[in-house]
Amino acid sequence: MYGLIHTALRDMVIEELGDHTWLEITEVSNVPSDSFLTMRSYDDEVTLALVSAASSVLKLPVADALEAFGLYWMTTFAPKEYGALLDHTGNDPIQFLENLDDLHDRISTAFTDFKPPSFRVAISSQNAATIKYVSNRKGLTPFVLGILKGLGQRFDNGIEITKIEPVACERGEQCDITISLENADG
Amino acid sequence: MDSQLCEILDQLFTFTFSIDEELAVSRISKRLKAQLPEIKDRSHFLETFECHRPAGIHSFTDLETSDQSMFLLISRDKKLALKGQLIRLIDSHAYQFVGMPWLAWMNEKAPETKLKLGDFPKLDSQMDQEFYFTSQQSMVRDLEELNEKLMIAEGEAKEASRVQSDLFAIMSHEMRTPLNGVISALSLISDEDSSLEKNKLISIANESANNLLSVINYTLDYSKIDAGRMTLQEQDFSLSALIESVVTVTESRAKEKKLTVTSRLDIDTSESVRGDSEKLRQVLINIVGNAIKFTDEGEVSITVSKSKGNNMYCFTIEDTGAGIDSADLEKIFDPFWGKATGSSGISTGLGLNIVKRLVEIMAGNITAISTQGHGTTFQVFIPLSSDAHTKGTLAVEERRTQQSQLAMPNSFSGKVLLVDDNQTNLMLGKMMLEKHGVSVRTASNGQEAVEIARDITFDLVLMDISMPIMDGVTATKEINNRENPPPVVALTANVRDELINKYRADGFKGYLRKPLGSQALLTELNLWLKPNPMSLGVTIDSEKDLSKTSILEALWSQIGEENFQRVRELFLEETERRVNVLLGAWVRRDLEAMRKEAHTISSSVASFGCEDLAWRLKQIEQASSENDVREIIKYMKDIESVSTDSLKAVTSFSVTEEV
Lowest mean pLDDT among A168-182, B92-106, B358-372, B530-544: B530-544
More confident residue, B98 or A33: B98
A98 confidence band (pLDDT: 50, 70, 90): very high
More confident residue, A183 or B50: B50
Q: How far apart are CA B259 and CA B262, in angstroms?
A: 10
Chain segment B9-48, per-residue pLDDT in tens: 999 999 999 999 999 999 999 999 999 999 999 999 999 9
Please determine, looking at this structure, whether the domain spanning B238-383 carries the CATH number 3.30.565.10: yes
Strands of A128-135's sheet in order across: A118-125, A128-135, A173-181, A159-167
* pLDDT the model gives residue B318: 95
Lowest mean pLDDT among A89-103, A172-186, B157-171, B363-377: B157-171
More confident residue, B532 or B624: B624
Contacts with B131 from chain A: Cβ below 8 Å:
82, 85, 106-107, 110
| Contact assessment for residue B257 and residue B296, using Cβ atoms and an 8 Å cutoff | yes
Mean pLDDT within B539-552: 50
B188 confidence band (pLDDT: 50, 70, 90): low
* pLDDT the model gives residue B548: 40
φ, ψ for residue B95, nearest 5 deg: -105, 150
Q: Does B135 touch chain A (CB under 8 A)?
A: yes
Share the mean pLDDT of chain A: 92
Mean pLDDT comparison of B100-104, B200-204, B290-294, B310-314, highest-scoring range:
B100-104
* pLDDT the model gives residue B193: 58
Who among A4, A89, A109 is closest to B117 (CB)? Answer: A89
More confident residue, B500 or B307: B307
B366 confidence band (pLDDT: 50, 70, 90): very high
Total Cβ atoms within 10 A of residue B18: 19
Contacts with A110 from chain B: Cβ below 8 Å:
128-129, 131-132, 135
Residue B220 has pLDDT above 60, yes or no: yes
Who among B107, B114, B116 is closest to A99 (CB)? Answer: B116
Question: Given CA atoms B274, B275, B281, B287 in this order, what sign does their dihedral have?
Answer: negative
Residue B310 has pLDDT above 90, yes or no: no
Residue A84 has pLDDT above 90, yes or no: no
Mean pLDDT within B604-614: 86
> What's the gap in Å between the CA of A168 and the closest CA on chain B?
31
B537 confidence band (pLDDT: 50, 70, 90): low
Mean pLDDT within A127-142: 94
Closest listed residue to residue B413, CA positions, set B452, B440, B443: B440
Closest listed residue to residue B122, CA positions, set B31, B32, B33, B13: B13
Helix (H) or strand (E) holding A164: strand A159-167
Residues A110, B116: C-beta atoms closer than 8 Å: no
Nearest C-alpha in A relative to B107: A84
Mean pLDDT within A130-136: 95
Q: What share of chain A is helix, strand, coil (3-state, %, to 5)?
A: 55, 20, 25
Who among B125, B128, B131 is closest to A82 (CB)? Answer: B131
B511 confidence band (pLDDT: 50, 70, 90): confident
Residues B117, A37: C-beta atoms closer than 8 Å: no
Lowest mean pLDDT among B70-79, B165-174, B378-387, B499-508: B165-174
Nearest C-alpha in B relative to A35: B146
Mean pLDDT within B201-218: 76
More confident residue, B516 or A140: A140
Where exactly are the structural domains of chain A?
A: 3-60, 67-181
Answer whether the bond into residue A142 is a cis peptide, omega within 30°: no
Q: How far apart are CA B27 and CA B24, in angstroms?
A: 11
* pLDDT the model gives residue B641: 86
| Contact assessment for residue A9 and residue A46, using Cβ atoms and an 8 Å cutoff | no
> What's the gap in Å between the CA of B101 and the closest CA on chain A?
12
Who among A81, A91, A107 is closest to B114 (CB)? Answer: A91
B507's CB contacts (< 8 A; 6+ apart) are B476, B477, B480, B488
Q: How far apart are CA B374 and CA B511, in angstroms?
A: 58
B148's CB contacts (< 8 A; 6+ apart) are none
Question: Given CA atoms B554, B573, B155, A26 in this order, what sign does their dihedral have?
Answer: positive
CATH domain B140-226 topology: Helix Hairpins (1.10.287)
Interchain CB contacts (distance < 8 Å): A and B: 68
Mean pLDDT within A124-152: 94
Chain segment A14-58, per-residue pLDDT in tens: 999 999 999 999 999 999 887 898 888 899 899 999 999 999 999
Mean pLDDT within B562-579: 89
Helix (H) or strand (E) holding B104: helix B103-109
Pick the CATH number of A67-181 from 3.90.1150.10, 3.20.20.60, 3.30.930.10, 3.90.1520.10: 3.90.1520.10
Lowest mean pLDDT among A37-41, B136-140, B537-541, B602-606: B537-541
* pLDDT the model gives residue B97: 96
φ, ψ for residue A119, nearest 5 deg: -125, 115
Helix B591-607, helix B611-625: angle, nearest 10: 160
Chain segment B404-458, per-residue pLDDT in tens: 334 567 788 889 999 998 888 888 888 888 888 888 999 999 999 999 998 888 9
* pLDDT the model gives residue B269: 78
Residues A88, B135: C-beta atoms closer than 8 Å: no
Helix (H) or strand (E) holding B585: helix B561-588
Residue B402 has pLDDT above 70, yes or no: no
* pLDDT the model gives residue B99: 96
Contacts with A3 from chain B: Cβ below 8 Å:
142
Contacts with A19 from chain B: Cβ below 8 Å:
none
Residue B477 has pLDDT above 80, yes or no: yes
Closest listed residue to residue B606, CA positions, set B432, B445, B425: B425
Helix (H) or strand (E) holding B369: strand B365-370
Residue B392 has pLDDT above 70, yes or no: no
Mean pLDDT within A94-102: 94
Who among A3, A99, A111 is closest to B117 (CB)? Answer: A99
Q: What is the CATH number of domain B391-541?
A: 3.40.50.2300
Closest listed residue to residue B98, CA positions, set B10, B163, B186: B10
Selected residue of B135, B140, B148 to mutate for chain A interface (largest A Cβ count, 10 A): B135
Q: Does B147 touch chain A (CB under 8 A)?
A: no
Pick the CATH number of B3-124 from 3.30.450.260, 3.40.190.10, 3.40.50.10490, 3.40.1260.10: 3.30.450.260
Residues B115, A88: C-beta atoms closer than 8 Å: yes
Write the burial class of residue B564 (CB in 10 Å: 0-12 exposed, 13-18 middle, 19+ buried).
buried
> What's the gap in Å between the CA of A59 and the closest CA on chain B?
30
B51 confidence band (pLDDT: 50, 70, 90): very high
Q: How far apart are CA A105 and CA A107, in angstroms?
A: 5
B401 confidence band (pLDDT: 50, 70, 90): very low
| Contact assessment for residue B39 and residue B15, using Cβ atoms and an 8 Å cutoff | no
* pLDDT the model gives residue B406: 42
Residue B373 has pLDDT above 90, yes or no: no
* pLDDT the model gives residue B547: 40
- The residues with which B44 forms a beta bridge, in sequence order, are B24
Residue B606 has pLDDT above 80, yes or no: yes
Nearest 5°: the CA angle B623, B629, B633 is 90
Residues A89, B116: C-beta atoms closer than 8 Å: yes
Who among B118, B136, B146 is closest to A99 (CB)? Answer: B118
End-to-end CA distance of chain A: 32
φ, ψ for residue A180, nearest 5 deg: -125, 140
Q: How far apart are CA B444 and CA B420, in angstroms?
A: 5
